[in-house]
Every structure is written in structure tokens, then in C-alpha cells.
Structure 1
Amino acid sequence: MPFIVLDIQLVVQGILYLASFVLGFAVSIPLGVTTINFGGQCILYGDIKWQNATFFKYTPTDMHNCNFAIYLNVFGCIFYSLGMVIYHGYALTRKDPNIGSQMWVMPFILVNALMTVIIFISSCMISVGFKEFCDGLLSGNEKGAHVKSCADGQKPSWNWNKYGTNYTTDTYYTYLAVTQTATWISFLVWSVQVTLGIIRFIRNRRLRSKDQFHDPSPSMNSSDNSKTPEDLENFASVQPSA
């Protein structure tokens, strides 16, 4: 059986797209379930005002704060990454070690760079919103509530529904911690993806330049190795591979 040489960078990029696909679920599902558990209300940036050691008033925030991250990960990370996994998988089935130089590069660098920036913004929104919600719970210590951590609100002794709500609060901290961790890992994965795309672009450009300037026939004036103005003009006209 002949030994198949694969483009290692292409394999790595395919794995990273697969990781982004999985992380998209790890971000959107816990955040979406938490939203459902809180009566279809976004918990991020939720305002908690303590009246005394046993009573507080919770005010939910705008759903856009949660929907932005959910839709971004569903349509950006999950669907786009799945398409790129299929695209890279198909390229690898060609069993051509030079297939990477024949693929589009620049369009995906731009898309991936945009995804990286947007995911960074989304990650900051999740982390800041989560912190503000937890800070509201912990502020109960000023009223004598003795709240040790944000996860205390998950305990059965905390009956959020006695204030006229219908919340399921036994998993919110766990789910949001998973969402927060996954979204920052996703940001790192997309950052690496952009870096690999730039490396691919540079490699393809150098390869194309080398092929264009390779002269298969010996020059009639082999003794003259100096660059002429025409040579320099041709060099400037080389188009980068994309």
C-alpha cells in the first residue's frame, strides 16, 4: 500500500474547524438552556437588588445580550465550521500533498478574522454580564445574607420562585461557567485559525513566485547574471496567490 503524504497544515486547520464546531454547541446550548430556565429571560447583566438578608429583587436584562452569543455560535461557529470541515475533508481525500496551494485562502482569512473579532466581543459580553450578575448576588453580604459564591444561588435552600417567578435555578452557574470557558477557548481557536491562514497565504505566494521565475531552458546569455530593468518590472507584476 503506497504511503500517502498529507498537507499537515491542512489537517490541523480541519481539526481546528471541527473544534470550533463543537465549541459552538458548548457556548450556545448552556446559554440557551439557562435562558429557558429563567422564563425566556437573559440572565447576563441581570440586576439583583437586596432589600434585606433574605429578600432581593431580580430584574432580567434585554434578550439581545444572550441572543447575540447564541445566534453567533449557531450560524457562525456551527454551520460555517461544519462547511469548512467538509471542504477541508474533501480536499484531503484528493490525496495530493500540494492541494493546499490550490485552495482559496484570502477569502477565508477575511471571514475568519471577522469571526475572531466578533467572538472576542461576544466573549467579553458573556464574561462581563456573568460577573455583573454574580456581583449582584454577592452584594447580599452587605445586607447580612452570607453569600459565599455565585453558585450559592443554585442551592435548594434558595427559592427564587417565592417572589412570584417560575425559574429553574439549580444549574445556572454551572451552565454559564461552561459557556464562558467555551467561548474564550473558541476565541483562541479562531485566532490560531487566522494565523495559519496567513501562513498558508505566504507559503502559496512564495511558491507561485518561485514557479513564475523558474526558467526551464538555459539562458543564451548565461554569462550575464545581472538583473535588467525588465526583470525588476516582471517581479513587481507578480500576483500573490489567494
Structure 2
Amino acid sequence: MALSALQLAQLALHGAAFLCGIICASALTVTQGQFGGHCMLYGEVRPNGSTLMLAADSPASLCYFVSAVAVVAALAAFSALLHGIYSCCVDDGLCRDRTWLGVALAASAFILFFLMVAACILEVGTNALCRSVLQMKLVRSCRDAQNRAWEAADSSRFYDNLYSAKATAWVNFFFWGLLLAVLLLQRRQDAPFRLLSRRDPEWSAETEAIIGGRGPRH
């Protein structure tokens, strides 16, 4: 069964959004686990002899919130992907269901808002952590702090993981924005009617039926 360009774009975007959500949640969860469950976002780093230590951290619920948003967005994208494959390959009528389009539009807008919040938390929280690291003037960059010994923590790739989580969160936000635009285009194409213009032949037929045709000129 041939699929339209909008349907193919929708399936591709849902698949990409699913992968971004999984990568974001996994990267943040791994980093949190390396530091004993502490949330490093907005954290404060202090030297402790020859090692570094996380002197202050954010509530663990903050990282849980960001991870939960990423997971929910990934599950929603995966569910929509399965629905799209089924509806387009098994029952084409479901592809044109305006009720489903309305629900998908509302869900996409809802997810898009929370993805923006989660991405902003990751962006600002990671930058705050890196500013604290650079204030010590012990390393040239935040990435270099991965090579230093940390107290009671496995610091390997912590910055790379946070950067991956932040980048995929913004990419995911972009994908869901495109999804919202595709759904709006699909809803517009599937509109049950459109207003007639004076150039349409139906316009003349309708107006003549209502007000009557013009009489012959003398």
C-alpha cells in the first residue's frame, strides 16, 4: 500500500523521537548512578585534596522528572509508530480518522511543552555544574574533569553523558515540533469541506440555486 509523504514523515519522526527519548533517559540515569543517585544538575563541585567532590547537588526528583519526561515521550512515540504502521498497512481508514488526529495533536502539544521544560533544565543545570568546575581553575574544560579522580564517584564520561542527554533532549523537542506541524498539515488536508471561492464552478451553481439566474437582457 502506497503511503503519502506526510504519513512517511510521521513514521520517520516517531521512530527518531523514540530513539532520542531512550538515549536521553539512559544517559542521565547512568550519570546519576555513577554519583550514587545524586543529581548533578545545578551541582557544586569543590576540591578535596587531590580529588574532586560534589559538594552540593539537586534533589534526585529533578533528574527523575527529566528522565520520566524522556521516557513518556519515547513511549508515546513508539505507540504512535505502531499505530501508524498498523493503520497504514492494515486499515487505511484509520489513517484518516479525525478523532485520532485530534488526540494526536493534543498529545503532541502536551509532550512538546514538557520536553521544552526538560531540555531547559538539562541545559541550564549542566551549564551551572560546568561553571562550578571551571571556577576551581584546576581543569581547562568541563570535559577534562572526567579524567580527574572524584571522591566516592565514578566520574568516567559524566560530562559526555550529560551533554548527550542535553543534545538529544533538544533534538527530541525539534522532532516533536515537526510532528506537530505534520499533524496540522494532515488535519488540514483531511478537512471535510472547504469554503467555496468565486472561481469554483460550484459557486455559480449554488448562487443560482439560491437567488436564481439572471434574466435575459433586452
- Is 2:83 aligned against 1:83? no
**Structure 2 gap segments, 5+ residues each:** 197-201, 212-218
**Which residue of 1 is the match for residue 22 of structure 2?**
25
5 Å-filtered alignment, 1:66-215, equals 66-74=63-71, 76-94=72-90, 96=92, 100-102=95-97, 104-141=100-137, 145=138, 147-155=139-147, 158-161=148-151, 166-205=152-191, 208-209=192-193
Deviations 1:32-78 (A, max 9, x none): 0000000110011111245899776622211122111111111x222
8 A Cα contact 1:48 1:57, kept in partner: yes
Deviation at 1:159, TM superposition (A): 1.9
After superposition, give the CA deviation of every residue in 1:135-183 in whole Å (9 maximum; x if it has no partner): 0000012xxx3x200011111xx2212xxxx200011011111111100
- Give the letter for the 1:153 counterpart: A
Please give the alpha-carbon distance, in whole angstroms, between the structure 2 residues aligned to 1:28 and 1:90.
27
> Residue type of the partner of 2:157?
T
The DSSP-based 3-state class of the residue aligned with 1:71 is helix
**Contact (CA 8 Å) 1:47, 1:59: kept in 2 or not?**
yes
C-alpha distance in structure 1 between counterparts of 2:42 and 2:96, whole Å: 46
1:45 and 1:227 map into 2 onto residues whose CA distance is 70
What do residues 197-216 of structure 1 show as CA deviations (whole Å, max 9, x unaligned)? 111111111xx116xx9xxx
- Structure 2: how far apart are the matches of 1:93 and 1:68? 36
| TM-score, normalisation: structure 2 | 0.84
Equivalent pairs counted in the alignment come to: 204
- Report if the CA contact (8 A) 2:53-2:150 is conserved: no
Amino acid at match of 1:112: S
Which residues of structure 1 form unaligned runs of 5+? 214-218, 230-242
* C-alpha deviation, 1:95, in angstroms: 7.0
